[in-house]
A and B are shown apart, each in its own frame.
Chain A
Amino acid sequence: MKNILVTGAGAPLGRAMLRHLRNLAGVEHIVGVEPTTSSDWVDGAELIASPRDQRAFVDLLAEYPIDTVIHCGLAPDRGGRVATPSEARVIDTMRLGAALASPDVSVRAWVIASSSGVYPVDSHAPLLQREDSALDTSEGTPAASIREAEEYARDVASRRPHLNVTLLRLQHVVGPGVRSPMTELLDQPVLPRVVGYDSPLQLLALDDAVRALSFAAELELAGVYNVASTGTVRMSEAIRTLGRTALPVLPFEAGGALGDLARRFGVPHVPGGMLPVLRFGHALDTSKLAAAGFSPEHDQAGCLALLS
């Protein structure tokens, strides 16, 4: 792990990744790419716009040459239930994958920040999702986009046996600058408490996410791993821990324009896509990554502290 390319470098996860790598011994060059950006130096790393085609990607990877790619650009600042990753980001993943298969490239490790949103959030799901649990099979949803990107990465892995491909399924990320339906839910001054439900939720501190990605890259772990900070937390506990007042609400969520309105007027609401999470819970079994030697530094209370 000497010359590292980080995608999604304009978003909180990618930025935190750049900062983390800068302090790592043995790292020589760090390049950050972002779909739309002007070239810049950020936190000691070079930040450039994503190459426009596969050839340019190959040239970029061959230049230093890059040996490790940490792909934070798929679902850049989330994990968990994500909004549909933009077309540009999914296509970037595919372009990058195609470039990695080129013989001119000497990348050894491709670590992808995927999302726990690939698992179904429903009454029939198990308490803790394992890497081999059934995935959400819906079509045309955010889960489907992430699933396709994962399938594509596995494809690249099978075509390039010397390339180590790691998929890290990140749980709902919280930390400085991160904005997602989960942070929108928990960042309200008065928290909504859906009456009749109180299921386990799970968060991932931004630094734990970054450390896990770096850990996977360094050890060249191959395969799929769940990532979450220690433990689970119920909404009732989160309300107590955050020390905020709660408003009982009926099981409805406010997505789209309604969500915007609720946000503007500060009405306690459940952001779009979060109702199933509150009704049925959403938690990962992280024992596989733990067995590989990784332990998160934060527990769920620590994650909540990042919000307040």
Chain B
Amino acid sequence: MSDDNLLPDRWGRSTGPGNAAFRALYERWFRVEWEGIEHVPRHGGALLVSNHAGLMPVDGGVIPLGIENETGRPVYSLAHHGFFRFPFVGKMLAATGGVVGHPDNAHRLLTEDKSLVLVFPEGAKGPVKPPRERYKLQRFGRGGFVETALRAGVPIVPIALMGTEDTTPTLATFRIAGQDVPLTLNTLLLGPLLGPLVQFPAKIRARVLPPVHLGEASGQDHYPRSLMMDTAEDIRGQLQTALNRMLHKRESVVAG
């Protein structure tokens, strides 16, 4: 069996996230467990939103692999276009389901392909936040993801992910050349080369919340800004509440 023989679809997706190494990491290292998977629509487009964490964020792989395992549906993840500039990185990202985070791409995936699309509304603010912000969701941009869902007429499915903050725990953040650079425990223990590549075996739990159906007609030119902001805030609140509950129930970082 060779994944290289799979023809990529128009987005460049061929293997999906489930290569053998990542599958082992998912099953043995992070021992990912899902709750509420029945909330993931079995057909039709849906926008999945989740909290984003970790210096080398594993959530971007954990959620698509998990949903593909549990439902058989492929997940496309919106990623910053900058990643696609690097040789091999962009190609690999596309092969595993990454797509340039352009509203037009998201719309096409949701409406023409009727796919599941994953987005992290916190963007880069999630992974580089200071340690006191652990498991606190950062600002959800300007609510652009809500507009994407409204225009496409698809539900938003929030997914709370616990454990991803502990695979690369941030000890402190430094401001270097205008960028927030986190120092993680991994980097401190293993050095700047190996550190960012190694993840601690924290137990990852994912909880899918009930889909949010937006009661507006799709395909309009404009949607009220207030509606977008309110919905974004509401979803952020739901995710935060779910995370708090999951953390409250957690007995240990490694055993979950």
Interface residues of A (CB under 8 A from B): 122-128, 130, 133, 194-200, 232, 234, 251, 279-280
Chain B, residue nearest A232 (CB): B10
Per-residue A-contact encoding for B65-91, CB less than 8 Å = 1, 0 else: 000000000000000011011111111
- 30 A-B Cβ contacts within 8 A? A123-B84, A123-B85, A123-B100, A124-B100, A124-B102, A126-B100, A126-B102, A126-B104, A126-B108, A127-B10, A127-B11, A127-B99, A127-B100, A127-B102, A128-B108, A133-B104, A194-B87, A195-B87, A195-B88, A196-B88, A196-B90, A196-B91, A197-B90, A197-B91, A198-B8, A198-B91, A200-B12, A251-B87, A279-B85, A280-B84
- Contact present for A197 and B87 (CB under 8 Å): yes
Per-residue A-contact encoding for B7-31, CB less than 8 Å = 1, 0 else: 0101110000000000000000000
Instruction: Taking A126-B108, A127-B99 as given, write out 16 further A-B residue pairs in contact, using a Cβ cutoff of 8 Å, ordered by the A residue number.
Output: A123-B81, A123-B84, A124-B100, A124-B102, A125-B100, A126-B100, A126-B104, A126-B105, A128-B108, A194-B87, A196-B87, A198-B8, A199-B12, A232-B10, A234-B8, A251-B87
Q: DSSP class of A's interface residues: helix, strand, loop or mixed?
A: loop
Contacts of A123 in B (CB 8 A): 81-82, 84-85, 90, 100
- Closest CB-CB distance, A157 to chain B, in whole Å? 23
Interface size classification for chain B: 20 to 34
The 3 residue pairs across chains A and B that have the minimum distance between CB atoms: A196-B87, A126-B104, A123-B81
Interface residues of B (CB under 8 A from A): 8, 10-12, 81-82, 84-91, 99-100, 102, 104-105, 108
How far is it, in angstroms, between the C-alpha of A200 and the C-alpha of B99 when the chains are bound?
13
**Knowing A199-B12, A200-B10, A234-B8 touch, does A127 contact B87 (C-beta < 8 A)?**
no
Contacts of B102 in A (CB 8 A): 124-127
Contacts of A128 in B (CB 8 A): 104, 108
- Contact present for B84 and A198 (CB under 8 Å): no
- Closest CB-CB distance, A174 to chain B, in whole Å? 21
How far is it, in angstroms, between the C-alpha of A259 and the C-alpha of B99 when the chains are bound?
33
Contacts of B86 in A (CB 8 A): 196
